Amino acid sequence: MNSSGSKNKFLTIAYLSPTAVILLVFMVIPILYTLYLSFFDWNLISPTKNFVGLENYTSIFTDSVNRKVLLNTIVYILLLLILNFIIPYFISLIVKFFINKMKNSYKIIFFIPSLFSLVVGAMLFSWIMNPISGPVAFLMRHFGVALPNWTNSSAMAIVMLCLITNWKVFGYNFVLLLTGLGSIPQNIIDATKIDSIPRWKMVRDIVLPLNKSIAFYVLILTIVQGLQYVFTPISVITQGGPYYGSSNIFYHTYLNAFVLYKTGNASALAVITFLVFLILLYLEMKFVEGRMGNCE
Amino acid sequence: MNKFREGGWHILLLLICLVLLLPVVFMISNSFKTLQDSYHSMLQIIPLHPTFSNYTTLGRQIDLLRLIWNTFFMAAIVTLGKLITGLFAAYAFKYFSFKGKKWIYLIFVSTIFVPFTVIMIPNYLVISKINLLNTAPGVALPQMCDATGIMLFLKAMDKIPKSLIESLKIDGISSHMILKDIIIPILRPSIISIGAIFFINSWNEYVWPTLILKDKSSFTLPLALQNYISSEGGTNFPLAMALSTIMIIVPLFIYLIFQRYILNSISNSGLK
């Protein structure tokens, strides 16, 4: 018995260690090292790092460019929540409860853009919305209206960049939310039909509360993943411009680290991002109880 | 009345289908047009003077086979790495009992959504220190750091009766044998669909290649495409669209074959 117990222990370690080693080397140690770097002034190359204490952090909140980027990040979050969470949620409710035919076809078709690279998405939108040679500008010219050059306006650029990620993740989030709706017990829904409760009322009073947990999961996903997804079109189309107007905290971290070589500033921004991530993770685990524990 | 309303919803849903798919349709169609036609008849789905010239131009300007191979090789390493590590770890979580299991699982799974900016600087330094910049393993390693597979495999293992595995264990059959002869054959559809998702994601990956691959001969398709998009305008769109069309064939083909399994696995990733 004892020997099989120690053999089991050995096997457990052997089976878990490939994942554990990769996570340790490429995730846990990097997180700690980023924290360490955030207290130094460094340029990624020089052999010496200067300890500067909390200076990198204070500069985040005093520097006007950093403040602009943080503000943009909040605008991005709000827009992404509307485009990538509320709209797919609304559509998934319609497909689940308000139509009978073609449910599966919509699922299959909506998912298709999720298969494609965001670089393809960025290219397509820069064509569609091209103020000179794009189809939207072409159609608008017929009505005598000119499409403004949206890369010159930070507000329009942010909207366009969000739309690109929306094109990609709409179907993915739709599938997740639709699955969540599918796990609501059918007898509850049938009961409301017998009592002839209007369907929108059934959705509001029964479906939305029951589907809270998966909806919250997609909401967190929308924020954390959405901001990372938007990195690609920013990098391909605007590079954060005009004058940091379409940059967000992710792109600004990258810019500081690999373009401006301000490793300390980049690390401090990354640590702030990580703290926000931890808060969201905590909320998710509290809200979505049980999701994390399916190994039992 | 109800029929009428359902029709209204279908119009909305079909419009969404159009918005999502038309850009791709126009992309493919314009990739077969000359630069002039792509401007003067941009909304013409069937090209007036169909031409392969964009594809042949691409073939002259960049080493397409090399790009496809680089992308494939990277995605294959990531996919295999994630499948193997994920299967073993999921097996341990499902069928072994050990101290702190719940906590270890929690830590593993929490890493899934850690933003890449938090780890990109140290990972870049490590990859450059071990001389893997501009190589497929160098760009694959940070991508393997993803515990999604564990979550998806655990979910898939739910459909294998636990009593079956327990009785095999009592009969003295080793875990390796159970994994090789029972679990993997039963989970084959899940392994294929999870592998397909991993492969497609890595095929499209942009962030790590941008950081790790600086040498043009090591580029993957998304990086090559980026070079055809000019932020100052003046992009040759038919050319960029031809390269994009080449890029989307692989994921589209995988989806056509495994569509049902892929959608199932995606659904599982969000379920508790």
- Say if residue B105 is in the same domain as residue B2: no
CB nearest to B211's CB, from A101, A167, A258: A258
pLDDT computed for residue A152 by the predictor: 86
Check CB contact under 8 Å for A120 and B244.
yes
Q: Is residue A14 part of a domain?
A: no
Check CB contact under 8 Å for A112 and B147.
no
Rounded to the nearest angstrom, the minimum Cα separation between A207 and chain B is: 16
- Say if residue B201 is in the same domain as residue B114: yes
Check CB contact under 8 Å for B27 and A296.
no
Q: Is the peptide bond before A233 cis (omega within 30 degrees of 0)?
A: no
Check CB contact under 8 Å for A12 and B263.
no
Q: Is residue A16 part of a domain?
A: no
User: Which tokens hold the place of B42?
Assistant: 């941009």
CB nearest to A12's CB, from B92, B110, B266: B92
Q: Is residue A281 part of a domain?
A: yes
Radius of gyration of chain B (CA): 23
Q: Is residue A283 part of a domain?
A: yes
Rounded to the nearest angstrom, the minimum Cα separation between B30 and chain A is: 11
pLDDT (tens digit, 9 = 90+) per residue, B86-139?
Answer: 999 999 999 888 889 999 999 998 888 899 999 999 999 999 999 999 999 999
- Say if residue B132 is in the same domain as residue B38: no
At residue A277, what is the residue type? F
d(CA B127, CA A262): 19
- Say if residue B147 is in the same domain as residue B48: no
Domain count, chain B: 2
> Chain A partners of B175 at a C-beta cutoff of 8 Å?
11, 15
User: Which tokens hold the place of A184?
Assistant: 């609501």
Any chain B CB within 8 A of the CB of A45?
no
Q: What is the ipTM metric for this complex? A: 0.94
Domain around B57: 1-61
Rounded to the nearest angstrom, the minimum Cα separation between B251 and chain A is: 6
d(CA A250, CA B210): 14
- Say if residue B40 is in the same domain as residue B97: no
User: Which tokens hold the place of B117?
Assistant: 């900016």
pLDDT computed for residue A289 by the predictor: 57
Any chain B CB within 8 A of the CB of A42?
no
> Chain B partners of A223 at a C-beta cutoff of 8 Å?
none
β-strand pairing of A50-51 with A40-41: antiparallel
A–B: how many Cβ contacts below 8 A? 287
User: Which tokens hold the place of B128?
Assistant: 């450059």
Residue A89 CB contacts under 8 Å (≥ 6 apart), including other chains: A173, A177, A215, A218
Residue ranges of chain A with per-residue pLDDT less than 50? 1-2, 292-296
Check CB contact under 8 Å for A18 and B84.
yes
Check CB contact under 8 Å for B113 and A151.
no
Q: 10 Å Cβ neighbour count for A175?
A: 24
Helix ranges, chain A (H): 2-23, 29-37, 55-62, 64-80, 87-93, 103-111, 118-128, 135-142, 154-182, 186-194, 199-202, 208-210, 212-229, 231-233, 249-254, 263-287
d(CA B25, CA B43): 10
Check CB contact under 8 Å for B5 and A98.
yes
Domain around A261: 65-293
Sign of CA dihedral B82, B85, B91, B93: negative
Check CB contact under 8 Å for A30 and B210.
no
Any chain B CB within 8 A of the CB of A155?
no
Residue ranges of chain B with per-residue pLDDT less than 50? 1, 272
pLDDT computed for residue A296 by the predictor: 47
- Say if residue B48 is in the same domain as residue B68: no
CB nearest to A277's CB, from B115, B221, B251: B115
d(CA A277, CA A254): 17
For chain B, strand residue ranges (E) read none
Q: Is residue A38 part of a domain?
A: no
Residue among A101, A114, A108, A105 at smallest CA distance from B263: A108
d(CA A139, CA A149): 15
- Cα atoms found within 13 Å of the Cα of residue A295, Cβ hemisphere only: 24
pLDDT computed for residue B55 by the predictor: 96
> Chain B partners of A295 at a C-beta cutoff of 8 Å?
93-94, 101-102, 105, 154
Using DSSP's 3-state secondary structure scheme, residue B232 falls into coil
d(CA B164, CA B167): 5
Check CB contact under 8 Å for B231 and A167.
no
- Say if residue B111 is in the same domain as residue B94: yes
Helix H or strand E encompassing A224: helix A212-229
pLDDT computed for residue B48 by the predictor: 86
Q: 10 Å Cβ neighbour count for A283?
A: 13
- Say if residue B30 is in the same domain as residue B85: no
Residue among B3, B44, B117 with most chain A CBs within 10 A, to mutate: B117
> Chain B partners of A249 at a C-beta cutoff of 8 Å?
117
Q: Is residue A284 part of a domain?
A: yes
Q: What single DSSP character describes residue B112?
A: G
Q: 10 Å Cβ neighbour count for A103?
A: 12
Check CB contact under 8 Å for B113 and A225.
yes
Rounded to the nearest angstrom, the minimum Cα separation between B76 and chain A is: 17
Residue B252 CB contacts under 8 Å (≥ 6 apart), including other chains: A112, A115
Check CB contact under 8 Å for A33 and B122.
yes
- Say if residue B31 is in the same domain as residue B130: no
Domain count, chain A: 1
At A215, which CATH number? Answer: 1.10.3720.10
Check CB contact under 8 Å for B17 and A106.
yes
CB nearest to B9's CB, from A94, A122, A183: A94
- Say if residue B129 is in the same domain as residue B209: yes
Closest chain B residue by Cα to residue A128: B23
Q: Is residue A82 part of a domain?
A: yes
pLDDT computed for residue A2 by the predictor: 45
Burial of A80 (0-12, 13-18, 19+ CB in 10 A): buried
Q: Is residue A187 part of a domain?
A: yes
- Say if residue B5 is in the same domain as residue B126: no
Check CB contact under 8 Å for A124 and B27.
yes
> Chain A partners of B91 at a C-beta cutoff of 8 Å?
15
Rounded to the nearest angstrom, the minimum Cα separation between B216 and chain A is: 17
- Say if residue B173 is in the same domain as residue B91: yes
pLDDT (tens digit, 9 = 90+) per residue, A104-152?
Answer: 999 999 999 999 999 999 999 999 998 888 889 888 888 888 888 888 8
Helix H or strand E encompassing A51: strand A50-51
Measured CA to CA in angstroms, residue A162 lies from A72, A88, A159 at distances of 12, 14, 5
